[in-house]
Amino acid sequence: MDNQRLVTWALFGVMVWLTYQAWLQDYAPQPVAAPSTIEAPQRSAATDTSLPSLSEGDSTGGDLPAVAAPGDSAPRDAGAPIIRVTTDVMIVDISLRGGTLVGATMLNYPVAKDQPDTLVQLLSTDSENLGLIQTGLNTGVEGQPMPSHTALFQSRRTNYELDGADEIVVPLRWADGSGVEVEKRFRFRRGSYAVQLEQQLDNRSDAPWQGGAYAQIVRRLRASERSMFNVDSYSFDGPIVYDGDKSEKLDADDLDNGRAYSFESEQGWLASIEHHFLSAIVPARDGVYDFAVTLSSAGDSTRSSTISKRQTVLPGASKIFTTTLYVGPKLQSQLEQIDPKLKLTVDYGWLTILSGPMFWLLNKLFGIIGNWGVAIMGVTILIKLAFYKLTEASGRSMAKMRKLQPRMKVLQDRYKDDRQQLSQAMMELYKREKVNPAAGCLPILIQMPFFLSFYWVLVETVEMRQAPFMLWITDLSSKDPFFILPLIMGVAMFLQQKLNPTPADPVQAKVMQIMPIMFTGFFAFFPAGLVLYWATNTVLSIAQQWKINKVVEAEGKTMKGGKKKRKKENGND
């Protein structure tokens, strides 16, 4: 019984922790963003002139010096024209100053369920929500004109709409007068949050052109995001990189004191996470790229950059540099199409090994059913069936213990003043009747990993964000607004207890009596989808235990009848 008590209190502790996390999401004070020093209000952050360093490649004949970041005296143009691109899933603003992505609004993702007209904005020049994706070509020669993100491009149009087409191509052109011309092409596809970028360089000059293609994310860094007292502490917010072997999340401590996180990789990528959403850069798989993440001097923003090795374009030749950009929700199906490892940005923590397959199964059922709530119930049923035989043995042991309750009561009365003797007598009874008192812990031990996995699937996957179920449950990722589902779950837990034996320990018995009340209070703050899972599992457990109790009771009657029959036959003999 000590094992069962330990499991009970462990479960109680988990409930307290998850309740606190849920409470923080609703009631903790919002963090105050640190003042931004990237740009004064009258100047555009899109004109940041920092360039990634260019390193030596195999196709060049000599070293090229790295470009230093120009100071504030560098020319800036806060009034560069903006091109607006409207697809079926997002609105993207592209500045002609470098072809920088300065705005991205998610058309299908409101900030809150009750604010349908306030949409999530991932990229912005606003200092409090700063997010930019800058791209260009770096010659590595200081002072030489180059099509970087500070150069002014030209466009024939200022507005592009997808309408009935499947694809939009937005071309921007640049020329320096020496014969070197560049066309940037941004390719948008229907239903996709990926942006394919092609930078075509035509060298019509008399000299070889040398340089590399780069892309970088400039993103605000909110202070204290990882604090447990912060509303978003359950989800990472900041830069993440993949070096071809493992992914790494980086916070201010990793980049403080001027340290830069850098590496080389042929399969790497970099991104910036904002809970359910992502801005990412995935270079072409055509060679080794340099990657670096740095912290601004003010400590309020990061710059994540990648640049190819130096390339040579001979006179009369052309070269296309390709890069995949992603700005949107962390839809795992789309992320896998770009790079299978990009789905590592969906953070399930140490339960990834279980949460990943669980979401896969949920997603498959959702594709058939079309309702996430019903899919949760379906997965719960499948889990219950998978462990039916294992939990059946536990249920039979509990049913036998329930039949032993009168005999256990006699022992408790007989040895009420001698706990050691009572414990010994109880163990002898269990051994004689072939009953395992710890068997009741098994269902709880089996369910806890799935319970925690469901929790992280609900709070981390964007597919479950604001997903409706039915009736009053309009958002499975937030708590039940009327607390009806937690009450249903509490009643189900109370009925489940009635089918199980009363613990011999009086203290534990009292704890178990109030457990449905405590759990109802705890689950009131949990995501409705999690409560739905637990309530469905409890109802299935009731049905299973009720059936087992009937079977064990019938077996007992059959055995008792057989003994009476044999006794009668022996008497006649």
What does the DSSP 8-state code read for residue 349?
A: G
Q: Cα separation of 154 and 362, whole Å?
A: 47
Taking 80 as the threshold, does the pLDDT of residue 439 lie above it?
Answer: no
Which tokens belong to 399?
């049913």
Q: Are 30 and 466 in contact (CB under 8 A)?
A: no
> How do residues 57-107 score in pLDDT, each as one tens digit?
643 333 323 333 333 333 344 568 999 999 999 999 999 999 999 999 999
pLDDT tops 70 at residue 32: no
- On the question of pLDDT at 52 being above 90, the answer is no
**What would the mean pLDDT of 120-146 be, rounded to a whole number?**
88
Binning pLDDT at 50, 70 and 90, where does residue 136 land?
very high
* HSE of 41, CA atoms in CB hemisphere, 13 A: 1
Residue 54 banded pLDDT, cuts 50, 70, 90: low
Asked whether 277 and 330 are in contact (CB, 8 A), the reply is yes
Phi, psi of 236 (to 5 degrees): -70, 140
394: Cα within 13 Å, side-chain hemisphere: 18
Question: Which of 192-206, 263-277, 294-308, 342-356 bottoms out in mean pLDDT, i.e. has the lowest?
Answer: 342-356
Segment of 4-18, 61-75, 124-138, 520-534 carrying the highest mean pLDDT:
124-138
Query: For position 35, what pLDDT does the model report?
Result: 31
Choice between 113 and 507, residue whose per-residue pLDDT is larger: 113
Bigger pLDDT: 17 vs 491? 491
What are the residue ranges of helices labelled H in 218-283? 252-255
Q: How confident is the model at residue 555 (pLDDT cuts 50, 70, 90)?
A: low
Residue 300: pLDDT band by 50, 70, 90 thresholds?
confident
According to DSSP, the residues that pair with 271 across neighbouring strands are 240, 280
What is residue 457's predicted lDDT score, i.e. its pLDDT?
84
230, 33 Cβ separation under 8 angstroms: no
Can you name the CATH fold of 31-347? Beta-galactosidase; Chain A, domain 5 (2.70.98)
Half-sphere exposure of 369 (CA within 13 A, CB side): 16
Portions of the chain given CATH number 2.70.98.90: 31-347
Would the pTM count as exceeding 0.85?
Answer: no
Task: Tell whether the model's pLDDT for residue 498 goes beyond 50.
Answer: yes
Structure token digits, residue 348:
């399930």
- Nearest of 280, 321, 260, 293 to residue 57 by alpha carbon: 321
- How far is it, in rounded angstroms, from Cα 432 to Cα 174? 89
Left if phi > 0, otherwise alpha if psi is -120 to 50, otherwise beta: which for 465?
Answer: beta
Pairing of strands 277-283, 269-274: antiparallel
- Residue 231 near residue 252 (C-beta atoms within 8 A): no
pLDDT score of 562 more than 70: no
Specify the pLDDT at position 547.
Answer: 78
pLDDT of residue 420: 77
State the pLDDT at residue 506: 62
| Residue 489 structure tokens | 């779950």
Q: Where is mean pLDDT largest: 347-356, 399-408, 431-440?
A: 347-356
Bridge partner residues of 318 (DSSP): 202
Could you tell me if 374 and 471 are in contact, meaning their C-beta atoms sit under 8 angstroms apart?
A: no
- Residue of higher predicted confidence among 321 and 478: 321
CA atoms of 364 and 376, how far apart (whole Å): 11
Helix (H) or strand (E) holding 324: strand 318-329
